[in-house]
Chain A
């Protein structure tokens, strides 16, 4: 099963942010690489299309969580690379904690009979 985040932006915006932060936690990546990393991390469950990836990247950059700079890709093409800032790292921690709490709570809720 794969979920196309573009169609559920509203519901999953927080999720997308968290996934992008996670993807970038290991190092800087360009747009396509971010979406591939997310695919890989979620075993293909989440396929992020440019229509939702790029607005999210730009929004997060404007919030000061990411910085972008132009660089060369592995295939010698010009590409914009995103990297976490200190604020981005902190945001990643906060959102991870938040997510864990929510998922535990929802899991608990679903367990009740």
Chain B
């Protein structure tokens, strides 16, 4: 009650200040009038009565002041006055205010935008109810897991059997798994629909209501092929079935199978995979949907499912971890040699353990970049505040002299930097707000559900950074500015307390930090640029231009090998006859982006050695199509092949490793249980990464075209081909869909991170260098100003203009050299960590270092030379006379 009325009063006093003041004024005036009337009533003359009343009342203004002090929110009011005073003060130097606010806005804004990005990808709760109770369950398998584990996506994913074990953990109220997959829907308009194969507790676990119809029942997941049913997303239902509820109970053709639509999920729910899902099918339908060709569902030694669970009421994440560890021990006991570390984490899109190990470097780099940006901005603002503080020394000295407490002045200066940081944060929020449209523009429209809109946590972060910036930026200048020796301040000579750092020292240190930051950013930028350039100019070992790959949905449509062979032959003949086509081949996939690895065993006398290799499955014409050479031997066609020994082609790098001193042709190697013999040696090519051009590769012959891509190289642009191949396919079978991918697009995608990082570090580095240069120039010209007399004396006793300029430059150059040196060392250390993104360029690439060091040195030279020239222009006679 009392609290409430106090809060109400505070609000009234702050918000309706004008009325409250007028009321007080009226009340006190009324008091004096009543008192006067009283005295007139006692027989005094009106004039005398009024005078007496005023005297008796004491000072009216003083009374008002006391009422104001007693009022609720008096402290807030005082703060408000200080803030208003500050804002008015800043309004008098709009240039300064604008420079500081803009600098801080860039620093805080970019930093917050990078934070938002990292947070959204790694930690933002999933878009479901009570998302803070949702966890993901993964496992880390010692030494990559048991031999022969079938890994799809990440080795930390689970098999169905493993999920069923973990699902029994008592701390989980409910659990489910999902696996994102594209399914072909035919009938009417044919298309590949992004879907999720899910266990039947999926909607229950995520607490996603079913808008129409029903969700999955448990018996629909009872055994493989049990539930021929599908749940649609609300968006897909509205777009493809016109929002018609009679679709419930109807069958639709999915991968050639009739599945009954049983429900439509809640509006706005698009699954919890990174790619928006439009359909959900029981996971137990997996082998059926693949027409029996792939039954990973029943393999217990496989990683393909992502598990989500909802914590039971009262259960904690810790309990879930402990209990999952018990389950893992049971799994290990059942399988000798297996060692499992379960990973239970709060639910998010990208939180599987691989992300934290593989993604750690880019993430750390992003956050470091964000930190550097804000540090650079703060350093610059601090420099500006120090300069402003020097200019205000007289004002501060006067206020101290007339009795202001130092604490009060420091508080006021901190309020100033707080106001500036807050304004910077508010303007900087623009960067955070610009993030969602930017991401939408960069990512394929509609596909990804990366939500980067600011939420409360993001906003809290922005203001936290602003608060940190306030202290970081404001404290040193505030303490510095208010620590003045009154006598010397009034005389106009700049002397400082004995135990105090000279402001020029602090400014030199700041300049050093800025130079280090810009050196680090620029060297990194140089390395990334070199890397991206290197990757585009060096030969990866195959053609990259005018190569296009076509993939079809023949496998999901249920084609058998025979029918696929007919259709593919037809298509490839068509393509081969098209003018401009150099050659056509089959391949499991184009190089780069994803990696297909395996191991081969060879016998050296009595020893057998196992090698890890990259695996490619291709047709004979692949090498010519990709413009690779068969260095020795032949490709598959002309080689004699028996039933139990098949031909393989290996890369020259593998040949050199397997049989360094012997003839590799005709040698045998074992893969899985089968023996192969080497018929040809292919030129080296970068299989999985542009930075590793000489990886060992084994090329197996593609037997069936099913699940293969048609790879084509043309002599000019393949644009017409990408347009016509789908129509040829439709003519062969209306349900047959063809997608094309240009190899150049894939390479651009591979190079995108390096290019993005190069562009952003270069921009920021240049910005930082500019700021640092201005800072250096400021410090040097300040030094020149302070040492006027000394310079004048030197000039008077015969020093040349060059000598004094050099003297001045020496003073400014130390922080520059120290800064550049430190920055380059940091960059060299970081570069070793991000070697993978440099595409084979050495982390100590001399060109990048020398080029960037020259840019930095030039910047530093100009920043010291230009202001130092002022020293040469000093006229000794007049200077010594004036100051003498």
Contact = CB atoms under 8 A, between A and B. Distances in A.
Name the interface size band of chain A: 20 to 34
A62 B72 contact: yes
Nearest to A58: B67
Interface in A69-84: 73, 75, 77-80
A31, A32, A75, A87 — most chain B CB neighbours (10 Å): A32
Given A50-B58, A58-B71, A78 B30 contact: yes
A59 interface: yes
A79 B34 contact: yes
B71 A32 contact: no
B612 interface: no
A55 B27 contact: no
A56 interface: yes
B361 interface: no
Given A50-B57, A58-B71, A62-B9, A73 B34 contact: yes
A14 interface: no
Contacts of A61: 9
A95 to B, nearest CB: 14
B607 interface: no
B62 A51 contact: yes
A55 B2 contact: no
A56, A58, A64 — most chain B CB neighbours (10 Å): A58
A30 interface: yes
Nearest to A47: B56
A101 interface: no
Nearest to A91: B2
A102 interface: no
B37 A50 contact: no
Name the interface size band of chain B: 20 to 34
Contacts of B33: 77
A65 to B, nearest CB: 9
B67 A55 contact: yes
Nearest to A79: B30
Interface string A32-58: 100000000000000001111011101
Nearest to B20: A58
Nearest to B41: A75
Contacts of A50: 28, 31, 57-58, 60, 63
B603 interface: no
Contact of B27 (A49, A54, A56, A75): A54
A106 B62 CA distance: 35
B71 A62 contact: yes
Q: Is the interface of B mostly helix, strand, loop or mixed?
A: helix
Contact of A32 (B9, B34, B58, B69): B34
A59 B72 CA distance: 7
Interface string B220-232: 0000000000000
Contacts of A56: 70
Nearest to A33: B34
A40 to B, nearest CB: 13
Contacts of B72: 62
A50 B24 CA distance: 12
B63 A51 contact: yes
B30 A49 contact: no
B23 A80 contact: yes
Contact of A87 (B1, B24, B30): B1
Given A49-B57, A49-B58, A78 B31 contact: no
Interface string B1-37: 1101110010000000000000110111011011101
A32 B32 CA distance: 9
Given A63-B6, A80-B23, A32 B31 contact: yes
Interface string B58-100: 1110110011011110000000000000000000000000000
A64 B34 contact: no
B16 to A, nearest CB: 14
A73 B29 CA distance: 13
Interface in A84-99: 87
A62 B31 CA distance: 20
Given A54-B66, A73-B34, A77-B34, A31 B9 contact: no
Contact of A58 (B5, B30, B70): B70
Contacts of B745: none
B790 interface: no
Nearest to B62: A51
B2 A87 contact: yes
Contacts of B31: 30-32, 50, 54, 79
Given A73-B34, A75-B34, A77-B33, A31 B27 contact: yes
B38 interface: yes
Given A30-B34, A31-B31, A55-B70, A64 B57 contact: no
A55 B66 contact: yes
A58 to B, nearest CB: 5
Nearest to A55: B70
20 contacts: A30-B31, A49-B58, A54-B63, A55-B63, A55-B67, A56-B70, A58-B67, A58-B70, A62-B5, A63-B5, A63-B6, A64-B5, A73-B30, A75-B34, A77-B30, A78-B26, A79-B34, A80-B26, A80-B27, A80-B30
User: 4 tightest A-B contacts by CB?
Assistant: A64-B5, A55-B70, A62-B9, A62-B72
Given A30-B31, A58-B67, 16 more contacts: A30-B30, A31-B27, A50-B28, A51-B58, A54-B24, A54-B28, A54-B63, A55-B69, A56-B70, A62-B5, A63-B5, A63-B6, A64-B5, A64-B6, A79-B30, A80-B30
